[in-house]
Structure 1
């Protein structure tokens, strides 16, 4: 097995190695998506507008679902029935489609580690920046053309920036919705929202039909009933929910979720908004009352895991819920820019200890990556640039833990300054407040602007091997290096025990 980032600098992709072959999979010309470009931010304006002027996502989502039901394209429970054996495997990727180097760098390892899997689940943000149907060719069909199994998806907030038109056309073969009734010309929040709202792109069906040829093999055929669904496969029910623009679900979806969660079958939740992330608990509100996590924790629903995208890294929180273990996972490293992990404090949330917690990239690699980014942007490389060893040493001191990788680097005034300035958590009982507002700014502004086009990329995906006795979960890394394309390193591994069939 290939060395991981937990073993060595080479395993993390820092040391000089042969570059991967992923560029051979890419189209000849690739547009580089810049999140610092005002035109990109303007295209993605619907999220801030929804937060400010009211979110129409729930209403629009139910219009999509009602039309699928009326057309006979779905049943009331939105169930996908699969004829899988009791022992099988599937892969999970999320936050994929920028269409550039970091997305394509995931593909060789995905094909290698995902060999023999029965299907894939793509959870959250299939396409960036706005989920347009006209960009699916190079950002979905071409990257995964050699994955010889169906792909099912749930949308993320960026897929909703297009009103879900592209997502529904590709995954559900659904035509665009007719325009909703316009509010009366009175200056209200809804009126302003409608005035400023980005309208859906008109799908080019000829372009989309040509793109579909890239994944047209019978083994790749997939059909799903809507933006949220339940998938019955072997001993499991996998439930995918659509958390829309702002990370909550509407009342009708909440009622559906409570209904499809009944029964003794073990369940895994797949969501666009993680429930535990960055040492915080986000239970996901349901319109009308209650939360998604209330449903996950209810023992009569038999959830064993909840896996969310949206944050572009990997995090694992094994939470004890009244004597039962529920595995809460963030898995959003499928191809887009990398969100920092070095800003995550020493973990205490949900009763999970730092020793139980796992993340990828390691905090030290995240700090080294962003120190290099700040050094380049500010033209202060000698001041800001930290080696991975220097980053590991200073973070070990600040978080009061041993470095994951052994390091002989000294902690100096400069490394302490850089760590503090770049948002690393302060030492316990420290009064230091000299920090850039990195934790939120890094997530919302600096991280999207920090996309890189050469390794290491710190991308990841999951392979889940299912049997009646349990589910083996492995997080594989994709660095962009050739050796790790051929033998993808495992950054985390755990097994979820399933109850014996006689106890269901």
Structure 2
């Protein structure tokens, strides 16, 4: 088995190695998505508009679901029908579709580690920047054309930037929604409608051509709607749609409570992770209550909640009244990398630093961003930190031992760069000037951090299910040939199922 990033620099992908073969999978011409381009930000304006003038997601989601039920494409429980044995495996990845090198670099290792899996679940943001149906060819069908099993996605906020039109046409074959009633003049809804980005009109001929890349009978999949429940072997997988702003409407909340009943062990898949970056985000339900209250209710038998949206891997094993629920972030499927070095020393939900896992490790994240800022600001001699220097600086600031052995000293320069790039402050030290590498970086500067040469620090999950337990492994995708042939395992844990032998 290949070394992981926790074992060596080579395992992280820092040492010079042979590049992978992923570029052979890519189309001849690729337009790299730039989140620093004002035109891209203008296309994705619906999220900020929803924050300012009200979020229409809940209303539109209800219209999509009602249309599916009325035309007989979905039942009341929005069930995905499957017939899986008690012992089987599946893949899970999130935040995939920018259509560039980092997305395609995930594919060879995913095919290797995914051998024998019965399907894949895609959690959050199938497509960037706005989920247009006319971009699914190079950002969904082509990358996964050799994965010979169904793929079941849930939408993320970027899939809602076109009103979910592309997602519903591709995965549910739903016709476009009729226009909503005109809002009252000069009210918040009127201003939102005035500025709102309209969805692209799907080119059905082009879409039919794209579908041929995943047209084998073994790849066939159909979704009842933007959220769904699937009984698979001994478990029930429930996918929810958290829309533009990370909440769910009253109707979906009632559905979630209904399909969560019963003794079958359950895994929640969500576009908005519940534990992320050392914080708890329980996910509000319109009208009262939260998604996490449903997950924690012992009568519902949830064993895990896995979310996308943040583009890295994080794992929080939370004790809930004597039961352990695994809260996971799995958003490293191909889009730009969100920093992990800004995550403070973990102390949330009873989870401490010793039990927390993330990928990339904080030191590798800091080294990545130090090189990015050094290049962008043309100050490489000041900013560039080696992975060992970055790991040592983060270990000092967090008060922990480095995960990967390093002999690098912590100097005034490494302390300065670590603090400036958003690393948590050292114990009992005040936070001084730093570049905006927390909230602003997450919203704007991280999207501009995409690079097109390894290491990429992408990831995906393989879950091996039996009546007694679920083994969960996080595999890395660096873009290097060695790791395509033998993907490194960055985390490996087992969930005991209630009533399992």
TM-score relative to the length of structure 1: 0.99
Aligned partner of 2:120 in structure 1 is 120
Aligned partner of 1:89 in structure 2 is 89
Residues of 1 paired with 2:498 and 2:318: CA distance?
18
Instruction: Give deviations 1:338-375, integer Å, cap 9, x for gaps.
Output: 00000000000101010000000000000000000000
Please list every run of 5 or more consecutive structure 1 residues that lacks an aligned counterpart in the other structure.
Answer: none
SS in 1 for 2:243: coil
Q: Contact between 2:469 and 2:500, CA under 8 Å: does it hold in 1? A: no
Residues of 2 paired with 1:438 and 1:32: CA distance?
23
SS in 2 for 1:447: helix
Residues of 2 paired with 1:359 and 1:13: CA distance?
16
RMSD (CA atoms): 0.7
Residues of 1 paired with 2:242 and 2:430: CA distance?
38
Query: How much has 1:288 moved relative to structure 2?
Result: 0.1
Q: How does 1:24-63 map to 2 (within 5 A)?
A: 24-63=24-63
Aligned partner of 2:481 in structure 1 is 482
Query: How much has 1:445 moved relative to structure 2?
Result: 1.3
Runs of 4+ in 1 over 4 A off after TM superposition: none
Query: How much has 1:81 moved relative to structure 2?
Result: 2.0
Residues of 2 paired with 1:436 and 1:16: CA distance?
30
Q: How does 1:395-406 map to 2 (within 5 A)?
A: 395-406=394-405
Q: Contact between 2:303 and 2:326, CA under 8 Å: does it hold in 1? A: yes
SS in 1 for 2:429: coil
Instruction: Give deviations 1:450-478, integer Å, cap 9, x for gaps.
Output: 10000000000000000000000000000
Query: How much has 1:431 moved relative to structure 2?
Result: 1.8
Query: How much has 1:187 moved relative to structure 2?
Result: 0.9
SS in 1 for 2:414: helix
Aligned partner of 1:295 in structure 2 is 294
SS in 2 for 1:473: strand
Aligned partner of 1:13 in structure 2 is 13
Instruction: Give deviations 1:167-206, integer Å, cap 9, x for gaps.
Output: 001110111111111213x211110000000011100001
Q: Contact between 2:312 and 2:358, CA under 8 Å: does it hold in 1? A: yes
Aligned partner of 2:273 in structure 1 is 274
Q: How does 1:303-322 map to 2 (within 5 A)?
A: 303-322=302-321
Residues of 1 paired with 2:98 and 2:338: CA distance?
15
Question: Quick check: 1:435 aligned with 2:434?
Answer: yes
Aligned partner of 1:455 in structure 2 is 454
Residues of 1 paired with 2:62 and 2:437: CA distance?
37
Aligned partner of 1:108 in structure 2 is 108
Cα distance, 1:501–1:382 mapped onto 2, change above 3 Å: closer
Instruction: Give deviations 1:363-391, integer Å, cap 9, x for gaps.
Output: 00000000000000100000000000000
Residues of 2 paired with 1:173 and 1:224: CA distance?
9
Cα distance, 1:480–1:501 mapped onto 2, change above 3 Å: closer
Aligned partner of 2:146 in structure 1 is 146
Query: How much has 1:295 moved relative to structure 2?
Result: 0.2
TM-score relative to the length of structure 2: 0.99
Residues of 2 paired with 1:23 and 1:438: CA distance?
31
Residues of 2 paired with 1:111 and 1:81: CA distance?
24
Residues of 2 paired with 1:144 and 1:363: CA distance?
30
Instruction: Give deviations 1:274-304, integer Å, cap 9, x for gaps.
Output: 0000000000000000000000000000000
Query: How much has 1:501 moved relative to structure 2?
Result: 5.6
Query: How much has 1:432 moved relative to structure 2?
Result: 3.4
